Structure 1
Amino acid sequence: MPPATEHTHHLKIRSTQLEMNPGAPAGARQGEDVEGKLRAAQVQLEQLQQQREDLERQRQEVETLNSRKRELISAQTELTERLSSTLQRIERELYELKDHTSDLEQARACFAAHLSKLEKINPDGWTRENLAASLERAMAIVDHADDEFSQAAEHYSRSRSSNLFNGSKARRVVSGDFARQFRNGLAFNLPVIVLGSLALIVYLLK
């Protein structure tokens, strides 16, 4: 038998068929994923940093406001106490001034009345007939005015108006004893004086 003829078949395999899937290499893809994660983490870190800065700024603003609030409360308390105590002193002063002013007004009216009476005393206009009575009334007016002036001077010597009286007390022009003796002597001797005057007039008319 004739020898069998060997048939050889040559398989043509493309080189590309031996290569893996034509995509990006695994290492490259992993590197890109890491970089993406790093960028995301960096963005997140920056956001956290911004939030931290915002929170710190807000904390400082709150602390500043609280500090100003404490200053306000302290100033409010101090000023309230100062105004309240001063207001009380002013009210007491006004009350005392009101009473003092009322006293001064009464003294003014009293002195004005005494002055008016004193200015009306005119010894040169008295007649012999009414000399004793006029003198009695005049001395009563002077004594009364002097008494009330002395009392007022004593009263105001211990007050803020002591300078109104120049620090002096009233002094009587005529003491009570002397005035009484004068009036009594005049009453006893008046008839003699009248008779003597009439005798002198008759003598001069002759």
Structure 2
Amino acid sequence: MSAPAEHTHHIKLRSTQLEMQSGNQRVDDYDNKLKAAEAELGRIQQEREELERKKRELEELTARKRSFLTQQVELTEKLSNALVLIDRELYAIRQEADELEQCRVCFAAHLDKIQKFNPENWTRENLAEKLERATMATDIAADEYDQAAAHFENGRSGAIFGRASKRARAAKSTSSEFSVNFKNGLAFNLPVVVLGALALLAYLVK
């Protein structure tokens, strides 16, 4: 009768062990699932943080881009306007420089001619002729000086000539022929002096 009793006790022991193993396995499965869930949550959190970081970077880049576009538009407008004004100023400067160069050539010719007059050496016989020629030359020089002063009066070079005479200012205000010729670069050419000399000769021949 002892053999069957031992056999029954052995069966109960194995059943308990199986139950314990099954319970341990369920605990292990739960732990594994919990760890897997925690790992998944950690991965999702990292992805979320990464997305938020990229979002901040994108917002920062967008703000910088918007700021750049605003500055680009403003600076483009400023530089474009400045270039237009600079071009106009350079054109005016070059034009005035050309006119001053013509004026200088003319004044130098007048100065050379006037300085050659020496009334002390004129004789009584040629005094009238010399005086008439000298007076005409100085009148032409004075007239062109006044017209130049009127032309440059409101420009950068106005201080060179001083204040123009009333006659020259009146001629300028009525758009005299000199003003037109001056703008075309023809006012201070030497043929004016030559014409004056021819007029003087015609007068003396009479």
Which TM class, normalised by the smaller chain length? Answer: 0.7 to 0.9
Q: Residues of 2 paired with 1:13 and 1:95: CA distance?
A: 127
* Range with greater deviation from structure 2 (135-144 or 77-86): 135-144
Cross-structure match for 1:156? 152
Aligned residues: 164
Contact 2:146 2:164 survives alignment (8 Å): no
List alignment gaps of at least 5 residues for structure 1.
Answer: 1-8, 172-206
Specify the alignment match of 1:124 in structure 2. Answer: 120
Using the size of structure 2 for normalisation, the TM-score is: 0.73
Give percent identity, aligned residues only: 43
Specify the alignment match of 1:18 in structure 2. Answer: 12
Q: CA deviation at 1:25?
A: 3.8
CA root-mean-square deviation: 2.1
Kindly tell me: are residues 11 and 121 of structure 1, through their superposed partners in 2, closer, same or farther at Cα, counting changes over 3 Å?
A: same
Structure 2 portions without partners, runs of 5+: 168-206
Q: Which has the larger radius of gyration?
A: 1
Report deviation, 1:128. 2.4
Q: How do residues 84-163 of structure 1 correspond to structure 2 at under 5 angstroms?
A: 84-163=80-159
| Distance change (3 Å), C-alpha of 1:131 and 1:148 | same
Letter in 2 for 1:16: H
CA distance in 2, matches of 1:165, 1:11: 147
Moved more, 81-90 or 142-151: 142-151
Separation (CA, whole Å) in 1 of partners of 2:134 and 2:21: 142
Q: Of the two structures, which has the highest relative contact order with CA contacts closer than 8 Å and spacing of 6 or more? A: 2
Kindly state the Cα deviation for residue 83 of structure 1 after the two structures are TM-superposed.
Answer: 0.1
User: What residue number does 2:162 align with?
Assistant: 166
Contact kept, 8 Å, 1:146 with 1:170, in 2: the verdict is no
